[in-house]
C-alpha cells in the first residue's frame, strides 16, 4: 500500500469505545460532526494519512471512519488485531494463536466485517503495565504470525511505555522483521536510555501520546527527542496524539487532533529540532513503514 505524500498520524482512533470496561461514557468516542470538523482542519494543515488503530473489541466502526475519510479527504488506514486485557473480546480467550491469526489475515486479505475495506496494519496489540499477561502474549504471537503471512506492519500499545523489550523478545522468537514493528507510547516512559535501547533493536518507536501532559511533560518529550535527533536517529520515530475520549476533542475542551501540528511541532522547532528531523518523523518514516 502506498501512502499519500504528506503528514501521517500513526496512532489514532476515529472511533473507540472502552466505556463498558472503564464505566465512563467519555471513553466512547463517536462524535461524527466534531470529528469531521477536526479532520477538515487537519487536512488543511497537511495531514494526508491517518492510521486508525481501533481494532476488534475496541469499538471499531468502519462506516463511521469511511464517512470521516470521505468528508475530510484524509486517507484512513485501518487495523486488525486485539488490544490488551481487560479489553479483549471473548474470542481471544477461546481461540488459539493460529485461529486468531486467521481472523486477522482475513481482515487483511478480504476486508473487515464484510465491508470490503482491508486492514493494512496489525495493531494496536498491547501489554499491561510492567507485565505481559498470558493472553496478551497470545495476541502478540498471533500478530507475529499474521505479519509472517501478510508482511503487514505491526504497531503496539505499551502501558505507560513499559514492556517494549518484552514485546520485541516475542517478535524475535518468531523472527519478525523489526523494521516493520512500531513500539507505541514510548514517550510515556520518560526514559531516554530505554527508548534508545528499543531503537537499537531495530524497531520504530512512537511518540504518540503528545499532548497528554498529565502523564508526561512536553519539556521531557522535547528533551528525549533532542537526544534521539542528536544521535541521528529521527529516522526511527513516528508521531501522533492518540485521541481516545470525547473530552479530548476541541469542542469539548480538549487539545484536539491538530494539537501536534499547531502546538507541539512549533514548540520543538523553536527549541532546535530541525525541519529535516521533523520531516522524517511526520512524513518519511510512515512512508517507509507502509512501503
State the Rg of the chain over Cα: 17
DSSP 18-37: -HHHHT-GGGEE--HHHHHH
- Print the binding letters for residues 207-246 with Zn ion: x by CB under 5 A, - otherwise: ----------------------------------------
Instruction: Please identify, among the stretches 61-69, 109-117, 153-161, 175-183, the one whose residues bind Zn ion according to the rule CB under 5 A.
Output: 153-161
What's the rounded Cα separation, in Å, for the pair 187 and 26? 24
Find out whether 119 and 80 touch, Cβ atoms under 8 Å: yes
- Print the binding letters for residues 89-128 with Zn ion: x by CB under 5 A, - otherwise: -----------------------------------x----
Give min distance, CB of 158 to Zn ion, in A. Answer: 8
Question: Which of residues 38 and 124 has its CB atom nearest to Zn ion in the complex?
Answer: 124
What's the rounded Cα separation, in Å, for the pair 81 and 172? 19
CB-based closest residue to Zn ion: 157
Give min distance, CB of 66 to Zn ion, in A. Answer: 22
Query: What torsion do the CA atoms of 210, 212, 216, 219 make, to the nearest 10 degrees?
Result: 50
Binding-site member from 43, 157, 221, 248 for Zn ion (CB under 5 A): 157
- Rule CB under 5 A: say whether 248 interacts with Zn ion: no
- Phi, psi of 258, deg, nearest 5: -80, -5
- Rule CB under 5 A: say whether 60 interacts with Zn ion: no
- Print the binding letters for residues 63-92 with Zn ion: x by CB under 5 A, - otherwise: ------------------------------
Q: List all residues 6 or more positions away from 285 whose beta carbon is below 8 Å from its beta carbon.
A: 204, 235, 236, 237, 238
- Rule CB under 5 A: say whether 147 interacts with Zn ion: no
What's the rounded Cα separation, in Å, for the pair 39 and 232? 32
Q: List all residues 6 or more positions away from 177 whose beta carbon is below 8 Å from its beta carbon.
A: 147
Question: Which of residues 52 and 124 has its CB atom nearest to Zn ion in the complex?
Answer: 124
Q: Which of residues 19-38 bind Zn ion (CB under 5 A)?
A: none
Give min distance, CB of 196 to Zn ion, in A. Answer: 22
Q: Footprint of Zn ion on this chain (CB under 5 A)?
A: 124, 157
Amino acid at each position: 500500500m502506498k501512502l499519500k505524500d504528506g503528514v501521517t498520524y500513526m496512532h489514532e482512533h476515529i472511533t473507540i469505545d472502552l466505556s463498558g470496561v472503564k464505566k465512563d461514557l467519555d471513553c466512547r468516542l463517536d462524535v461524527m460532526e466534531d470529528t469531521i470538523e477536526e479532520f477538515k482542519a487537519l487536512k488543511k494543515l497537511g495531514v494526508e494519512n491517518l492510521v486508525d488503530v481501533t481494532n476488534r473489541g475496541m469499538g471499531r466502526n468502519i462506516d463511521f471512519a469511511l464517512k470521516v475519510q470521505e468528508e475530510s479527504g484524509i486517507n484512513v488506514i485501518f487495523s486488525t488485531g486485539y488490544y490488551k486485557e481487560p479489553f479483549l473480546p471473548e474470542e481471544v480467550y477461546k481461540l488459539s494463536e493460529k485461529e486468531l491469526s486467521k481472523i486477522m489475515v482475513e481482515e487483511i486479505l478480504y476486508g473487515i466485517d464484510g465491508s470490503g475495506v482491508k486492514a493494512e496494519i496489525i495493531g494496536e496489540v498491547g501489554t499491561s503495565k510492567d507485565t505481559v499477561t498470558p493472553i496478551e502474549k497470545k495476541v502478540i504471537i498471533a500478530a507475529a504470525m499474521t505479519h509472517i503471512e501478510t508482511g503487514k506492519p505491526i504497531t503496539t500499545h505499551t502501558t505507560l511505555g513499559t514492556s517494549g523489550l518484552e514485546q520485541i523478545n516475542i517478535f524475535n522468537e518468531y523472527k519478525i522483521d523489526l523494521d516493520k514493528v512500531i513500539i507505541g507510547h514510548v514517550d510515556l516512559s520518560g526514559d531516554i536510555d530505554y527508548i534508545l535501547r528499543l531503537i537499537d533493536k531495530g524497531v520504530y518507536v512512537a511518540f504518540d501520546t503528545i499532548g497528554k501532559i498529565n502523564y508526561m511533560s512536553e519539556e521531557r518529550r522535547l528533551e528525549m527527542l533532542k537526544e534521539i535527533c542528536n544521535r541521528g536517529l529521527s529516522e526511527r520515530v513516528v508521531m501522533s496524539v492518540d485521541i481516545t475520549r470525547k473530552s479530548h476533542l476541541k469542542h469539548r475542551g480538549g487539545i484536539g487532533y491538530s494539537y501536534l501540528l499547531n502546538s507541539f511541532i512549533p514548540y520543538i522547532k523553536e527549541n532546535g529540532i530541525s525541519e529535516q528531523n521533523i520531516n522524517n518523523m511526520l512524513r518519511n518514516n510512515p512512508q517507509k513503514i507502509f512501503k
